[in-house]
Amino acid sequence: MADPAILVENLSKVYRIGSAEERHETLSGAALGLLSAPLRNLHRLRSLDASRSLRRPNRPTPNEHSDDLLWALRDVSFQVHRGEVLGVIGRNGAGKSTLLKILSRVTSPSSGRVTMLGRVSSLLEVGTGFHPELTGRENVYLNGTILGMRKAEIDRKFDQIVDFSGVSRFLDTPVKRYSSGMKVRLAFAVAAHLEPEILIVDEVLAVGDAAFRARCVGKMQEVTGRGGRTVLFVSHDMNAVHRLCSRCLLLGGGRLVAEGTTEKVISQYLEQGAPTRHRYRSEPDPGRDGMILEIVPKDAEGQPLLGEIDASKPFAIEVVATSAAEHPAGYLTVSLRDRLGTPVLFTDLRDSAPAGIASGVSRYRVEFPEWLLAPGDYLVTVGLNDGVGGQLDVVRNGLSIALIDLDSPRGGHRIGYFGARLPWARVVPTSGQGTGFAPDPPASPPRPPDEFRPESRPVPSLRRS
Amino acid sequence: MSQHAPSVDGISTATSPADSGSAPAPHPLVIEPASGWMPIDLAELRDRSDLLLYMTIKAVKTRYVQSALGFTWAFIQPLMTIIVFTIVFSRVAKIPMPSDLPYPLIAFCGILFWSFFAQSLTAASSSLVSNREMLTKIYIPRLIFPLSQSLAKLVDLMITLVLLGVLMVGFRIAGEPVSPRPEAVLVLPAMILLAFVASLGLSLWFSALSVQYRDVAYGLPFVVQIGMYLTPIIYSTEMIPAAIRPIFALNPMLAVITGVRASLLGPPFLYHPALLVEGTVVAVALLVSGAIFFRRSEHLFADVA
């Protein structure tokens, strides 16, 4: 743990969300309420300071509700090393923005502490502080000093900034006459010429067109590539995070959910909202006509497969379902989707067995041959139908199965959904038989095609996005 | 850093923040929850003096932008006020001034400083709320918002002081006995400073309060209007009964205008040292308490604005 640039210890931030307005049932109640409104308002406005109630936890105010408090960040600790580019990802409301706001000192934490070693600059939004009535030149100086530069520093870099922005002709025009693209370019040019030791960046890449975004990422890479620069980068753009960051934090519900290499954390992020369980179970509900009680993948010997599944071996998905009545036309369906929700495969009991759901608990089984599916994660959806237009139960994305390829040269690096081993052959052209399939077996035994092995590992979790 | 023990999730927790000193820490910036009383960070303010400069320039430049008269407005407003005041209070209401000097000159000394005070107070008090975009997106020393607004109004005051000078020279040429006391060279800057301190002090209170309570924005115009009549602008300090003068002098602008008139217009306008001291004490108390209150509520600004 050598040389941390940012040290975050048990950081928490609590906000107070406004509670519902009081309602009055009677006219006199409403009149009384109106009279006491200023006092109540005063109390409400005072209580906007959430730290007040934290400071004195044992002295609750009269209308104190714990559900009135929103923990935007709860007990988050991590370190960023000098020269490291750390990505922060998470869904909306995960606490990313709050974290960045605390780190850039826009807001102060409710508890915990942050220690930063080095000059800090934050780009929470490019162009903050731009004034439409001022000229481009004046805004460069204003924005530059807002971002923490000194006048002498801006003087020195002024030509570079103008060159980068490409708005040199309009320097003495009020910024309000700029196109939005010009404004963003000028703002980013100022920001790009900051030389902090610690840079905090949030969604800068969300603005502008694709070409500009590419240029921003390029500039960021250049900046971070020079070394010594510590960057905290927050974005929803997983590709940008992956390109820029070596390590990543995943926030969820204000807590630190995961921390590790970018690849690992991004795949975990993509899994959020989808189950990672490998077995689905549900308690029987006597009030229902039919129910799916259990879904579990099993191997050829009938043993449950609760971890990764070897794609080179056949496996089965077993479904335990109960039905109050017999449905002679009833059937089950099983469908697989990938992590992004794209349908991959759909199969129906009636494809290979007679229709019919017996009353009571029954066990169904659908078999998947070896090498049917490409290695990867699939989500399983199972439906139970009575066969006359009614759906008795459906379990959407009830479990995930992870297929891995342990024995082919490509391993898991295979795009698409099919895993079938197709017959390959080296076709040696002989006289008169230059085209068509070779009738003879190849002269040499088949060897793995070494030249097609990937040079570098692509990101497994991104390969289909 | 052996003190940093990894915890179960692989999250490192510092067990001892006070390290043995192996890391070269040039300026460790520590962010912690706001804790009650903290002094104003003057070193930080000095570091960001260029920012203060550009924020002030922005406030000055953007005021009269895209208006045909531009900076002339800075002259027109006090000039029109003085004409109206002269007609209403001197000709219609016939307020007797202790001096034989022309009424416009006497009133102008008061109006100039009062309008600086009022404008500075109004602009600075709303500076946090009107800059909430910036306040919630980026950190700059928050004090810069009201401070730059007050400084910008100070620029206006300087411009209108030139107008006062022209007026004085004009009346003198016209044969009026305009004779500033020699110590005006020192007294005038001191009074400008006093007016600045008073307006900034009150602005710090109001700007911090208005973030949480918008009532300030509604109440402030009344305070300014009532304050104008409680300040010797259309009348003179000497006309206030001596017994209640100390109460009136709780308003620091009374001291400012008394000092300005005594130094620039001479007798019968007097310094009233006791009133000057009282006003100064109040102004300094406002500034110190305002700064403390501002600092204390600063941590809330971004969350509540």
Contact A61, A53 (CB under 8 A): yes
Q: Which of B13, B54, B144, B215 to mutate to test the interface with A (most CBs of A within 10 A)?
A: B54
pLDDT given for residue A58 in this prediction:
44
Residues 6+ apart with CB under 8 A from A151: A141, A145, B50, B53, B54
pLDDT for residue A67 is more than 80: no
Q: What pLDDT does residue A122 have?
A: 76
Q: At which of A271, A304, A330 does a domain end?
A: A271
User: Rounded to an integer, what distance in angstroms lies between the CA atom of residue A315 and that of residue B13?
Assistant: 44
Q: Report the distance separating Cα A257 and Cα A269, nearest Å.
A: 9
Q: Is residue B106 part of a domain?
A: yes
Instruction: Please check whether residue B62 touches A, CB under 8 A.
Output: yes
The whole-number pLDDT of residue A339 equals 72
Give the CA distances from residue A236 to residues A206, A212, A249, B28, in Å, rounded to whole numbers and listed in that order. Answer: 9, 17, 13, 30
Cα separation, A388 vs A329, whole angstroms = 7
Average pLDDT of span A217-231: 71
Q: Are residues A146 and A242 in the same domain?
A: yes
CB contacts, 8 Å: A119 with chain B: 27
Residue A168 has pLDDT above 90, yes or no: no
Same domain, A157 and A114: yes
Q: Residues A207, A317: one domain?
A: no
The DSSP H or E segment spanning A158 is: helix A151-165
B93, part of any domain: yes
Mean pLDDT by 10 residues, chain B (305 residues): 36 34 55 73 86 91 80 83 86 80 89 93 92 86 94 92 91 87 92 96 93 87 92 89 92 94 88 93 95 87 78
User: Can you give A421-453 as a three-state secondary structure string?
Assistant: CCCCCCCCCCCCCCCCCCCCCCCCCCCCCHHHC
Give Cβ neighbours of residue B130 (< 8 Å, ≥ 6 apart): none
Specify if A459 maps to a domain: no
How far is the C-alpha of A144 from the C-alpha of A54, rounded, in Å? 37
Q: What is the largest CA-CA distance in chain A?
A: 107
A119 vs B: CB within 8 A: yes
CATH of residue A101: 3.40.50.300
| C-alpha span between A62 and A180 (Å, rounded) | 49
Bridge partners of residue A145, in order along the sequence:
none
A253-267, A357-371, A451-465, B127-141, range with the lowest pLDDT: A451-465
Residue A464 belongs to a domain: no
Determine, for residues B32 and A108 on separate chains, whether the beta-carbon distance falls below 8 Å: yes
In this predicted structure, what is the pLDDT of residue B31?
83
Give the nearest partner residue to A106 out of B10, B62, B137, using CB atoms: B137
Q: Output the six-digit token pair for A316.
A: 């089965």
Asked whether residue B201 is domain-assigned, the answer is yes
Which residue does chain A place closest to B142, by CA atoms? Answer: A106
A134 and A262 co-located in one domain: yes
**Is A373 domain-assigned?**
yes
Residue A20 has pLDDT above 60, yes or no: no
Q: Are residues A339 and A259 in the same domain?
A: no
Final residue in a domain of this structure, among A379, A404, A429: A404
Whole-angstrom Cα Rg for chain A: 30
In a domain, A440, yes or no: no
Which residue does chain A place closest to B297, by CA atoms? A49
Residues A235 and A287 in one domain: no
Per-residue pLDDT band for A320 (boundaries 50, 70, 90) equals very high
* Of B149, B145, B54, nearest in space to A154 by CA: B54
Shared domain for A262 and A289, answered yes or no, is: no
Residue A224: per-residue pLDDT: 65
Residues A301 and A397 in one domain: yes
Cβ contact A48–B304 (<8 Å) = yes
B 230-289 near A (Cβ less than 8 A): none
Mean pLDDT of chain A: 79
A56 neighbourhood in chain B, CB within 8 Å: none
Q: What is the pLDDT at residue B221?
A: 93
Minimal Cβ distance to B30: which of A113, A147, A149: A113
ipTM value of the model?
0.81
Q: Would residue B15 count as lying in a domain?
A: no
Count of other CB atoms within 10 angstroms of residue A53: 18
User: Are residues B231 and B253 in contact, defined by beta-carbon separation less than 8 angstroms?
Assistant: yes
Query: Does any domain span residue A154?
Result: yes
**d(Cα B94, Cα B292) in Å, to the nearest integer?**
45
Among the candidates A387, A404, A421, a domain finishes at A404
Question: Shortest CA distance to B178 belongs to which of B254, B108, B93?
Answer: B108
| Residue A431 maps to a domain | no
- Chain B positions touching A142 (Cβ under 8 A) are 54-55, 57-58
Instruction: Render A85-112 in DSSP notation, one character per residue.
Output: EEEEE--TTSSHHHHHHHHTTSS--SEE
Q: By the CB < 8 Å criterion, does B40 face chain A?
A: no
* Domain span including residue B201: 38-304
- CATH number of the domain at A337, please: 2.70.50.60
* A45: in domain: no
Residue A145 lies in a domain: yes
Mutation target for A interface from B1, B27, B31, B209: give the one with most A CBs within 10 A: B31
pLDDT at residue A447 tops 80:
no
Instruction: Name the packing angle between helices B103-125 and B215-230 (round to 10°).
Output: 160
Work out the percent of chain A whose per-residue pLDDT is above 70: 77
Strands A198-202 and A120-123: parallel
Residue B21: the pLDDT is 35
Please give the pLDDT value at position A209.
Answer: 60
Task: Please give the order of strands across the beta sheet that includes A85-89.
Answer: A120-123, A198-202, A230-234, A85-89, A247-252, A255-261
| Same domain as A265, residue A289 | no
Contact: A109, B33; criterion CB under 8 Å: yes
Chosen for mutation from B134, B137, B149 (greatest number of chain A CBs closer than 10 Å) is: B137
Q: Same domain for A171 and A201?
A: yes
Q: Does A260 touch chain B (CB under 8 A)?
A: yes
Q: How many CA atoms lie within 13 A of A175 on its CB side?
A: 24
Structure confidence at residue A148 (pLDDT): 84
Q: Residue A57 above 60 pLDDT? A: no
Residue A333: φ, ψ to 5°: -130, 150
Identify whether the C-beta of residue B283 lies closer than 8 Å to the C-beta of residue B201.
yes
Could you read off the pLDDT of A123-155 as tens digits, one per residue?
A: 766 777 788 888 999 999 999 998 888 899 999
Name which residue leads in pLDDT, A458 or A234. Answer: A234
Residue ranges making up the domain that contains A248: 73-271
Based on the structure, what is the number of domains in chain A? 2
CB A83 within 8 A of CB A230: yes
Residue A238, C-beta contacts closer than 8 angstroms, at least 6 positions apart: A89, A266, A269, A270, A462, A465
Instruction: Examine the domain organization and report whether A157 and A260 are in the same domain.
Output: yes
Q: Is residue B133 part of a domain?
A: yes
Please give the Cα distance from B257 to B259 (Å, whole number).
5
Do A231 and A365 lie in one domain? The reply is no
Domain count, chain B: 1
Which of A14, A44, A46, A49 is best to mutate for the B interface (most B CBs within 10 A)? A49
